[in-house]
Amino acid sequence: MRGGKTPSRWLMVVILFLFLLFHQLMWFLVEPITGLFSATSSVSDRWFDIELPLDMMVATVLFLVWGYFYDRHSRKRLMSLAGFFWGVSAWLMSFSSTLPTFNMSRAFSGVGRASQPGIFAFIGDIFKPTNRGKILSFLLISQPLAFLLAMVWEGILVTENHWRSLLILLGAIAFLLSLAIHFSLKETKRGASEPALIDLYMTGIYQFDWDIAKSALRKRSLILVYLFMLIGVIPWIVLPNGLMIFLRDVQTLQAADIFLSFLPTFFGITLGYPVGGILGDILFKYSKKGRLYPSLVGLLMACICLYLALRVPSIQMQGFFLCILLMGFFMAFPWGNMFAAVMDITLPELRGSAFAIVLLLQAVSSLISPSILIYTQGLVGLENAILWLCIGAWGISIIIIILLIFFIPRDVEQLRRHMAYRSHLEARLER
């Protein structure tokens, strides 16, 4: 198979985008649905009224398992299986008659929720390095769109029949996407789109190896990327929670106005993802650290925009909305580039595991960030808590990117040399 030049690769991207979009939509809707179920359940069922996000906790445990399986087995079959698990869990929740069975079904949904590492690793084998940033950014757009759809659909979850019907619908979509992945995606060889291998017929089979993984997954630049993912996700949790309270209590907006106030931010994020990815891909053609420059600029501008939105007393509401629009635009710059950077420095047969570590760290940060916000708010007030946590996290992320500028070129070159050596072996076998 010629690396990455399959005619149906754009269809594959669309299918994976829809998979991420509707899967994440269910994640965002499960929380309000759980609240509705708990409020209408009998007192005898409340013994299992758990406040913890069970699905996220299960997913956090299983990320590494999925990552390992993706590096050892057929990714197409595993992604299809993940869609099946998602559909089953959605239907189990919709048919649950008691709170304990609903929460157990929600916990089971975490099995499918942990399946994302393979999606990102798979993209690396159907697109060349200079195209990955924009494709990964396109896939990442699914998250703000899912959040926006969840905010819209949350308003219809006012009766039991509505949310049960919605879960049945999402389960049906999951089964359809599972079938689409099984029949439409084409399994590719790991590393097939690397420049050194793209014109070769690959006969070698490359899979996860523990001895290689012990050192390859602990490169200095990869560890810095891990730290970025852990710290950098904090503003993405603090801002939706904190700004919603800020707009309601400080700006005294009604629920409908709060929803409209979030639209500029979502628009900025949705536009910022592909712009950042495109800039990163263009600069990566000329420099091994090219992806880091738009990431650095994006974080610096996000800090300035957030400071202006919350700290300039004379700013009007129109100015506030403009600032948070620009903040959303710039804060999205790094993510497609940092996901692509994982592929730039990691062997193809270890990328599932590398992305599993990335998503595991993001999940841990997502679990603890709300508590950090509540604790900091009690110390310094809501406005200061939002500002300090976000600018503090972005400041640390900027330091990490500056360090990556020094360390990542060597690891990119090391991977390219290894792929060149692998291409030499493949060429000999081809002859």
Residues 262-300 as b or e (16 or more Cβ within 10 Å = b): bebbbebbbebbbbbbbbbbebbeeebbbbbbbbbebbb
Contact 167, 30 (CB under 8 A): no
CATH of 9-184, picked from 1.20.1250.20, 1.10.150.530, 3.90.1150.10, 1.20.140.10, is: 1.20.1250.20
Ranges of H-type helices in 41-116: 54-72, 75-95, 99-113
pLDDT digits (tens, 9 = 90+) for 330-378: 999 999 999 999 999 999 889 999 999 999 999 999 989 988 988 998 8
**What distance in Å separates the CA atoms of residue 242 and residue 145, rounded to the nearest whole number?**
19
pLDDT digits (tens, 9 = 90+) for 301-327: 999 999 988 876 555 667 778 888 999
The pLDDT score that the predictor gives to residue 100 is 81
Neighbours of 420 (CB within 10 A): 13
The pLDDT score that the predictor gives to residue 429 is 56
The pLDDT score that the predictor gives to residue 418 is 82
**What distance in Å separates the CA atoms of residue 327 and residue 413, rounded to the nearest whole number?**
34
Residues ≥6 apart with Cβ < 8 Å to 55: 27, 30, 106, 107, 109, 110, 113
Residue 6: pLDDT over 60: no
**What distance in Å separates the CA atoms of residue 354 and residue 345, rounded to the nearest whole number?**
10
Where are the domains positioned within the chain? Answer: 9-184, 216-430
pLDDT digits (tens, 9 = 90+) for 155-167: 666 555 688 888 9
Fold of 216-430: Growth Hormone; Chain: A; (1.20.1250)
Asked whether this chain's domains 9-184 and 216-430 adopt the same fold, the reply is: yes
Q: Say if residue 395 is exposed, middle or buried (CB neighbours under 10 Å; 0-12, 13-18, 19+).
A: middle
